Each structure stands twice: as C-alpha cells, then as structure tokens.
Structure 1
C-alpha cells in the first residue's frame, strides 16, 4: 500500500490546525466586535503567517517608527492570529496604558524569556494579578521616592570608587561603570560589599545579557509559536533551546546565591542590615514570603544596575561628541560647588544644566527603547478602532522621545532644549514620561536611577575632562553613535580619553571616599 510523503502529511495537519484556530478566531472576533469596527491600520498580512515578516528582530523601534509615518501613530499587525498594536505617540500611550490601565496592565506570555529561561520570577513580566501586586508592593516599600534617599550615601561612595578606578585604568570605562552600580545595589539589597570580581555580579551580568536579547518581542520564534519550547536541545536548529539553558543557569546563580548568603548570615547571627534581611525578618519563616523576597531582591539588583549603566555610558558618548556642552556644565559646577570638593546630592537643585544633561541623555538614547509589552484583558474601542482582548501592546518610547513636535531637531544632543533663562523649563515634555514606562507598570526603580545618574554625571564632570582618544600615530579616534539592540539598549564599546581636570582631583576623590566610609560607619 502506498502512503503519502511524510512532509505532505505534516503540511496537511498544520493547515488543518491553522484553519481550525482561524475559524475560532473569526467567530470570537464577531462576538467581541458586534459593531464591526475596523482594527487600526497596518501592513497587509500574508497568508498563514500574517505580518511575521513585519516584526523586526533588531532595532524594532526604528522599524515601528517608520511604520507610524506610513499608517499613523497606532499600527496594527497580526502574527498567527495574535494581534499586536504599536503605540508611537505619547497621546496613545497615556490614553490607553494610563487612563485605561485597568485593562492595559497585563503582560503577554513570553515563553523564551519566562518559561524557558526562568524569568517568570521577574514581577516586571508577571501577569497582572495578586502575585504581581505582592512582589510590586515589597519593591515599592523599599524603592519609593522617600525610601531611596537613605541609599544616597552608598550610591555616592560607589561613584567615588568608580572615579578612583578611572584614574588608574580609564580604558576599562565600561567595566567600571557597570561595577559601580552593581556594587551599590548589591550593598543596598543584600548588604554585601563588592570591590573586585564577584561571581554573583558576573552571573547577574550574564543573565541580564540573555534577558536583554530574549525579551525583545520578535527576537525568537518560540514566543510566536509556544509549542517550539518542547523542541529538544539536540534537534537541528534548536540553538535557542541551548541558549535558554545556559542563560537559566546564570539566572539561578544570581537569584539564589546572594539570597542564601543573607539567610546563612542570619542563621549565624552575623551580617549587616539590608533590604533582603529586613524582609526575611518580617516574613518569619514563611516559605511564600521568602520566595517573594528572593525574587524581588534579585530583580532590584538586575534592574537597578542595568538601566543606570546604560544611561551613564550614553552620557560619556555624548560628552566625547559635544565638548562645548561639557564645558558649560563644568562652568556651572565650578561656580556653584567650587574646585575643592565633589558635588553632593544637595547641590542638585543648584545645577540645572546638569539636570538638563540627565534629561537629554534619557531622551537621546533611552535604555528601554520599546519598554516591556502590555496586554489587554478586555475588548476595547479607541478612536473608532476595535482593540481585541489579549492584544499585545508595544509602546515605542524611542519614537515618543524623538517626536519633533515636542523636541525640535530630535536627533541632536541638546540639553538646552530643557532650559529657559538658565532654569529647567516646565513647559518642555520631561523624558521621564516615556523613559520609564506607563501606568501601573511604570518602572518602580526610577527614583534610584535618577539619583544615581545625578551623582555620577555631576561628579564626573567636576573631576574629569572627557574627549576623543588618540591612537599610536597621534590621530584622533573617531566615535560613532551605535547602540545595541534588545529590550535594553547600550552604546557599543567606544574609546575615549578621561583625564583629571587638575592635579588635586586624586586627593579630592580620596577625601570623598574617606568621608563616605566615616558616614556609613556611624
């Protein structure tokens, strides 16, 4: 007896499954949209795969911004029956994700990063509900605007240590920046001091690299076809499975390692105060509360260091390219602070030009250009369009922060766009409205990031001149603005010159470190 070729059988089965779900999808669409409202405009889908070819795996914010110019600020695409809306304007993001946050605060299923890599412990990715609220509540208690003020001395000390390392090995700039913010959040969260190579920090860095790569919508096909997560690691083409397994090991190391050290110290009656220790004491041995504490502390460490790291790296890049801006900021710092000490946090209100640099850096190269996707929990109508339940909502923060109606000449790095008569102009849109997300899913660590950015930028400008590096032939090494892709974006490594502004800078930095230790010892 003759049998049809196996590939024909598979094709017929897949076609049957596709048509079955399409019929279900069509029936549900009729029930959920009785007024027959149109979906928002977007590119025409292809047969079977929909708009799969329109979902970019690299630099999605650029592709979606281009689609907005063609179809409008709200763009709709569909992949295998999954509706995706891209919001490219502040108006749409606020109207939906803030004013209607009760149905726009869920998260879509992300099999690669959540189920395969283990990031489902991250409350940033958790579905909207009681479990998310309990994690978010613990985080907010420790990182709200008032609470983070007590962490400023630790942040300042690690900034000063970073500056001391820059004196001896400025070529290791990117490493020093990352180590500084990792050390600060490690001490605040776990009470651990980090001065050199640390396996927990290394594991966190590896895990975050994987997260930044895998969490971007469209990066891996398994997020569109979840059944692919069952493909064995040895199967040809299953590179994504092997990647997920390696990244999961790093995640487990950085989530469990510091947490267990704190628990062991508590059992031995040793250790120092920390967020983790305080939360565990309140938990009183509850396994569920212990789990919430472990997850929340790990995510504080992950998010608290990486967002600030990206911002400070972008700041260095901007200063290399714009020495005239650097000089203006230094002149203001010298007039307010002087040349015999480093800026302190209390100087912030008197340094509006530095504040403008922070705002422009957040706007110019946002650390999260596309944010984290939202998902609708009910059918909705907006501007005459139907928005289905379960639709993925992508907010193009990059597009919002490059809106030429709010920021003329948006591709130019120009802090003075935020100033009027030498002070911050409240009539100019603050980049924080888009840089940290929207609604109930707004980044809860934004206050810590803001404080760390000021302490770093003000102190570095006071102590160093940043300029183009010179090669062995005496020629200037040119620098280009090139960012990495992914859900988190950083400047690609570049070379620059970092020189003390005077001979007294090393002693000034050491004096600041000595004062930091004295203050923290009290």
Structure 2
C-alpha cells in the first residue's frame, strides 16, 4: 500500500537491501553522520530562536510553531529553500503527506499488504476503495518528492543555489569529471526522505516535551536552574553549553523514552532463518520491533511510566550503566540515519524554551485548570492529540534575550 500504491518507494527504510540501498545509505551517512550533523547546528540555533519569537507573540499556537520550525530547518538543510513565515506550501504538503504515510504504514491495516495480488484489481470494483484512496495520497508523496527538488535544481542550473544537501550533491555531479557513486535520482530520493523524516517526528517529540513539563513541573524547575547556573541569564543556551547541562540532556533522553514517537518502529524483513526464545522465524517473515516495550522495560528503566530524567544520571553526570533510548530511532541497518541531527535540534529547542519560558497548565475564563488529556494519535508516528497550555516569558530579561537573538540571527 505505502511503497507501491502510495508512491513512497523513495524512502530509504522501504528500499530492498542491496546495491541501491547501499547508495542511499552512503549518501545519508556522508551528510548526517555524527560529525557532519554538527554542520547543521547554526540552522538549528536560528530555527530555535525564531520559534522563541513566535512563542512570545502567539504562545497558544505552539503546535503550529513547532511544525514551522521543523520545516524551516529541514527545508534549509535538505534544499536550501527559505519557507514562508506562516502557511508555507512546502510545510503544509509535507504534513499532509506524512500523515497519510503514518496512517497507512500500520501493519495489517490494508488487506493488500497481506495479499499483494489485490493491487492489480480494477479501481472501480467493490472493495477497491484502497486503490482510489492511494491514488489521492500518491499526489501528496510525489508532490513532496518532486516540488522542492525541482526548485533547488533550477537554482543550481541558474548558479544561485544556496549550500544544502541537494544543491551540493547536484553541483558535485555537475562538476565531476568521473562518474560518482550516485546519480540525480538518488539525490532526489535521499532529500525526499530527509524532508519526510523531519516533518512530523520533531513536532511529536517537542509536543511530548510540553506534556512532560505540564505533568512534571519539578523537572522543568531543575532544568531551568541548571540553565540559569550556566548562562547566568545573560545569553541563550548554545551547543557549547551542552556538556555543562547534563540534566537538560537527560530530560531530552527521557522525552524520547517516555512517549517514543514510533512505538512499533518500522517492520523488518528477515533475509535468513532465525530463532528467538525457542520460536522459529523463517526467512521472509516480517518482524516488528516493539520499541515501546524496550523503552519501558522495568529491568532497564525502573518505574518506566514515570517521567524521571534522573534515571540517566549518576552523581549529576551521565550514567553509562543506563542505556540511551536509541530504540526510539529504530534498529540495525534501518536505524534512522538523521537521528544525530534530530537529537541536536530537539536539545537546542528544549534548552532555549526552558531558558526563556515557563510552561504551565492552561486555565479557563473562570480560573479552572484545564488538564491535558495525554491522548495520542495512533499511527507509525504517534503524536499527542491537540491540547492547551500556558507558555509565558520567565522575565523581561528573557524577552530582551529573545528579541536580541532574533535581530542578530542569520537567515536559515
């Protein structure tokens, strides 16, 4: 349903293992390995600062603001394209497309995934509604793949493209006297995967962060005290402060563990026979890794349903005995290749918000506290259902820091 009928064939997680997959993976690793990911930190800082400005003026729209920030960063990194300050067509397109992907990717939802021969039945037959649905959703996935790529390619050919993954990769193809290991279609597919991967996952994580602060004000206070101790309230946090803020880093880890974005992870296909706890798993079987169970394992994470950043610390420093929640990004060769950039983006955003704002429960006109439901939208990507909260500046000095940072910031 997803790969063939809906047109998500370009997503690296759905490409069959082999030479083609290795080309895509190499492109990704070159652009997003742990060292290369640091090149995108300036983009993430500017994106976080612009988010603070939006929260300052319209804090009630924090969910759209998260989506805007994530879109700004990934469009800049992947394509070198500036997006509109609101209602941007690229961001809107990605949100709609990824939503359909997340829904359709749930294993067992469509009979055609169990009986692939059904993909050949005429669209007008009774019971072929999935084909008509896929035709509409196909427009979204292909639009997301083709539209921004075409714009960046046009800029490269005109000689005015800004540095980005797509522009740099296409320029290298253009300038190289010898044949490179990749071709233009590989660049397009990799950029499309970046666009899709960064569209809603970051939004879900940041929304969960807000829910966690509403439910655990003491964790918010501890993180703010650590930030204040390092910055003295004189500047906004930077990546240079990360090592000196272990509690903030632990808080981010706990956000990723507590309500992980992809509880079921992506299905894997066994290439050889295997055995697990006495169960025979023949080659060709589909295995779904239970990331939720791994990240809520009481043996590794005692009291797993409680939000406790301290579980990752020992005497105020990172505790090597407690596993980082890497399962939130998948497993093995199919692990999310953009995880280093994703984590750094979430870290600077969380640190920046906590440095300047207080997150508290909203109240109605009569002063009654509005409790968030803590409900989540089901799908491959699980995100909190819309909720209300109060996001207010911690002080006038915090407001001044935001305004100064935005005025000094560079365009994405």
Structure 2 unmatched runs, 5+: none
Q: Counterpart of 1:160?
A: 49
Structure 1 unmatched runs, 5+: 1-111
Q: Counterpart of 1:327?
A: 221
Q: 1:427 aligns with which of 308, 317, 321?
A: 321
Is the counterpart of residue 182 in structure 1 residue 76 in structure 2? no
Q: Counterpart of 1:236?
A: 126
Is the counterpart of residue 226 in structure 1 residue 116 in structure 2? yes
Q: Counterpart of 1:408?
A: 302
Task: Please report how far the alpha carbon of residue 148 of structure 1 lies from its aligned counterpart in structure 2 after TM superposition.
Answer: 1.0
CA distance in 2, matches of 1:386, 1:153: 49
Q: What TM-score does the superposition give when structure 1 sets the normalisation length?
A: 0.75
Any idea what the Cα deviations from partners look like across 1:277-297, whole Å, max 9, x if unmatched? 111122239897111000100
Is the counterpart of residue 373 in structure 1 residue 267 in structure 2? yes
Any idea what the Cα deviations from partners look like across 1:123-170, whole Å, max 9, x if unmatched? 111111111111111111111101111110111101110111111111
Q: 1:292 aligns with which of 186, 193, 200?
A: 186
Task: Please report how far the alpha carbon of residue 507 of structure 1 lies from its aligned counterpart in structure 2 after TM superposition.
Answer: 2.2
Question: Contact between 1:155 and 1:452, CA under 8 Å: does it hold in 2?
Answer: yes
Q: Counterpart of 1:17?
A: none
Is the counterpart of residue 475 in structure 1 residue 371 in structure 2? no
Q: Counterpart of 1:346?
A: 240
CA distance in 1, matches of 2:349, 2:317: 21
Higher deviation after alignment, 503-512 or 407-416: 503-512
Is the counterpart of residue 505 in structure 1 residue 401 in structure 2? no
Q: What TM-score does the superposition give when structure 2 sets the normalisation length?
A: 0.95
Q: Counterpart of 2:333?
A: 440
CA distance in 2, matches of 1:400, 1:133: 28
Task: Please report how far the alpha carbon of residue 480 of structure 1 lies from its aligned counterpart in structure 2 after TM superposition.
Answer: 2.3
Is the counterpart of residue 451 in structure 1 residue 341 in structure 2? no
Q: Counterpart of 2:60?
A: 171
1:191-270 aligned at under 5 Å gives the runs: 191-194=80-83, 195-270=85-160
Task: Please report how far the alpha carbon of residue 500 of structure 1 lies from its aligned counterpart in structure 2 after TM superposition.
Answer: 0.3
CA distance in 1, matches of 2:198, 2:43: 13
CA distance in 2, matches of 1:236, 1:175: 39
Q: 1:487 aligns with which of 355, 375, 380?
A: 380
CA distance in 2, matches of 1:342, 1:365: 27
Q: Secondary structure at the match of 1:497?
A: strand
Q: Secondary structure at the match of 2:201?
A: helix
Question: Contact between 2:95 and 2:199, CA under 8 Å: does it hold in 1?
Answer: no
CA distance in 2, matches of 1:237, 1:166: 47
Question: Contact between 2:361 and 2:388, CA under 8 Å: does it hold in 1?
Answer: yes
Q: Secondary structure at the match of 1:469?
A: strand
Q: Counterpart of 2:12?
A: 123
The structure-2 alpha-carbon separation of the partners of 1:472 and 1:241, relative to structure 1 and needing over 3 Å to count, comes to farther
CA distance in 1, matches of 2:97, 2:228: 41
Any idea what the Cα deviations from partners look like across 1:76-109, whole Å, max 9, x if unmatched? xxxxxxxxxxxxxxxxxxxxxxxxxxxxxxxxxx
CA distance in 1, matches of 2:294, 2:156: 47
Q: Counterpart of 2:33?
A: 144
The structure-2 alpha-carbon separation of the partners of 1:169 and 1:236, relative to structure 1 and needing over 3 Å to count, comes to farther
Task: Please report how far the alpha carbon of residue 384 of structure 1 lies from its aligned counterpart in structure 2 after TM superposition.
Answer: 4.1
Q: Secondary structure at the match of 2:288?
A: strand
Question: Contact between 2:11 and 2:193, CA under 8 Å: does it hold in 1?
Answer: yes
Any idea what the Cα deviations from partners look like across 1:316-368, whole Å, max 9, x if unmatched? 01101111111111111111111121101110111111011111111101111
Question: Contact between 2:264 and 2:292, CA under 8 Å: does it hold in 1?
Answer: yes
Q: Secondary structure at the match of 1:474?
A: coil
Task: Please report how far the alpha carbon of residue 247 of structure 1 lies from its aligned counterpart in structure 2 after TM superposition.
Answer: 1.4
Higher deviation after alignment, 236-245 or 256-265: 236-245
Question: Contact between 1:206 and 1:250, CA under 8 Å: does it hold in 2?
Answer: yes
Question: Contact between 2:2 and 2:104, CA under 8 Å: does it hold in 1?
Answer: yes
Question: Contact between 1:204 and 1:302, CA under 8 Å: does it hold in 2?
Answer: yes
CA distance in 2, matches of 1:169, 1:396: 38
The structure-2 alpha-carbon separation of the partners of 1:259 and 1:403, relative to structure 1 and needing over 3 Å to count, comes to same
The structure-2 alpha-carbon separation of the partners of 1:161 and 1:238, relative to structure 1 and needing over 3 Å to count, comes to same
CA distance in 2, matches of 1:380, 1:234: 42
Is the counterpart of residue 496 in structure 1 residue 386 in structure 2? no
Q: Secondary structure at the match of 1:160?
A: helix
Q: Counterpart of 1:53?
A: none
Instruction: Name segments (4+ residues, structure 1) moved above 4 Å.
Output: 285-288
CA distance in 1, matches of 2:302, 2:214: 22
Question: Contact between 1:201 and 1:254, CA under 8 Å: does it hold in 2?
Answer: no
Q: Counterpart of 2:250?
A: 356
Q: Secondary structure at the match of 2:363?
A: coil
